Amino acid sequence: MTMAETTVFEALESNVRGYCRSWPTVFDTARGAWLTDENGKDYLDFFAGAGSLNYGHNNPVLKQALIDYLVGDGITHGLDMSTVAKRRLLETIRDVLLIPRGLDYKVQFPGPTGANAVEAALKLARKVTGRTTILNFTNAFHGMTLGALSVTGNAAKRAGAGVPLVHATPMPYDGYLEGMDELSWMRRVLDDSSSGVDKPAAVIVETVQGEGGVNVARAEWLRALAEMCSARGILLIVDDVQMGCGRTGPFFSFETAGITPDIVTLSKSIGGYGLPMALVLMKPDLDQWSPGEHNGTFRGNNAAFITAELALRHYWSDDRMELATLAKGERIRRHLTLLTEDFHGLTTRGRGLVQGLVFDDASQAAKVCRTAFELGLLVETSGSTDEVVKLLPPLTVTDAEISHGLSILTRSVEIVRGGH
Ligand code: PMP
């Protein structure tokens, strides 16, 4: 095998680079669920740009629309000016996402990253309520800017801030206290004026913690959380940056629980093609921004609006995508369950097409990912000690690709656990 030529990355690119260390090759092209490196070796992608490629790499339907738009000199950079592309996208969000679900939200275009959407959501909650504290959850991940980091759990990521991260109070996520009612603590401190917890502006929650280790909140827990917030005038923010856009089955991950958050953040796959884009959805009475109060040069990535609009119309006008995702997820879950029966010290958890294989011995998770890479499968770890191998294939993955990926994963576990 030819060694990849990586000198310039090592010499010139900052030490901050990360994924290239897990997957030490130089990628060149990609299509669907596959990446190909410059030596022509194919890798099945069960990471999907950390959830940004739900419709696969270079999805042909979206690609053609994008090419046509560029060839026609459509606006590429549009600040937050009104454009034809944005009008079509807003109409499609209304007709495909909101009306059929009985949702009434105003739509904000923040800067194009998940962290920027989270920053906007936190700012807005504070502005509307006049309060400063945000309640977040253990093991949460919301992004790397200061506000988003302040509601993120991971100690190493928080340490990078270089300043105290303040005005957030972590609460136990569903399952954190193993067998206890995590919300009873939250209810108690909110209702006790001597608890030392200030009345918060908002609670921010992921319905499934993607970076935090594929921790799945139960529907009844989410419902109880939503009720607790609404009874106390606390805004509920669902960060759907990773679990939205159909990752767990329905377009919004909170639909299964039957709750309606006050504010929703979306990014990653909302642009459809892997192009940067983010949205903040807010109940209309919360839209108390003054013009330009949350700003940003790259809020008008019109090329992404084209692929976002088409992705919504093409994949979400009926329930086929949701049903297929649930069926594929169930297949993966069954396979992982069999693995946990064959190997002690393994458990599994997940929803839809985010499934995790959890190792009692965390070091084995990284070894499994490394072995899988060598065998041609991209998977990454997540969790507080990187103890979870997280499977995040594109939603468009085929049954044959699922079989192929799962057989590489099984082989990798066998190799790492030895004796096979
Ligand atoms: N929120 C969640 C739930 C995420 O998973 C992520 C990214 N992993 C972010 C926010 C931050 O998104 P970005 O990296 O685009 O800033």
pLDDT digits (tens, 9 = 90+) for 160-177: 999 999 999 999 999 999
242 in contact with ligand 1, CB cutoff 6 A: yes
Ligand 1 mean position to 411 CA, how many Å? 31
Is 67 a member of any domain? no
Mutate to test the pocket of ligand 1, among 268, 275, 382 (most ligand atoms within 8 A of CB): 268
Same domain, 152 and 10: no
Same domain, 105 and 9: no
Same domain, 386 and 358: yes
Domain boundary residue, one of 282, 299, 316: 316
Q: Is the per-residue pLDDT at 297 higher than 60?
A: yes
110 in contact with ligand 1, CB cutoff 6 A: no
Ligand 1 mean position to 187 CA, how many Å? 28
Host domain of residue 331? 4-59+320-418
Task: Please report the pLDDT score of residue 418 as a whole number.
Answer: 85
Ligand 1: residue whose CA is nearest its atom 2 = 142
153 in contact with ligand 1, CB cutoff 6 A: no
Domain boundary residue, one of 291, 316, 341: 316
Ligand 1 mean position to 195 CA, how many Å? 31
Q: Is the per-residue pLDDT at 197 higher than 60?
A: yes
Q: Is the per-residue pLDDT at 420 higher than 60?
A: no
Ligand 1: residue whose CA is nearest its atom 12 = 114
Mean pLDDT of 203-226: 98
Domain boundary residue, one of 266, 286, 316: 316
240 in contact with ligand 1, CB cutoff 6 A: no
Same domain, 82 and 54: no
CATH code of the domain containing 190: 3.40.640.10
372-382 tens-digit pLDDT = 999 999 999 99
Ligand 1 mean position to 140 CA, how many Å? 10
Ligand 1 mean position to 155 CA, how many Å? 16
- 3-state per-residue secondary structure call for the chain: CCCCCCHHHHHHCCCCCCHHHHCCCCEEEEEECEEEECCCCEEEECCHHHHCCCCCECCHHHHHHHHHHHHCCCCCECCCCCCHHHHHHHHHHHHHHHHHHCCCCEEECCCCCHHHHHHHHHHHHHHHHCCCCEEEECCCCCCCCHHHHHCCCCHHHHHCCCCCCCCEEEECCCCCCCCCCHHHHHHHHHHCCCCCCCCCCEEEECCEECCCCCEECCHHHHHHHHHHHHHCCCEEEEECCCCCCCCCCCCCCCHHHCCCCCEEEECHHHHCCCCCCCEEEECHHHCCCCCCCCCCCCCCEHHHHHHHHHHHHHHHCCCHHHHHHHHHHHHHHHHHHHHHHHCCCEEEEEECCEEEEEECCHHHHHHHHHHHHHHCEECEEECCCCCEEEECCCCCCCHHHHHHHHHHHHHHHHHHHCCC
- Whether the full predicted model's pTM is greater than 0.75, yes or no, is yes
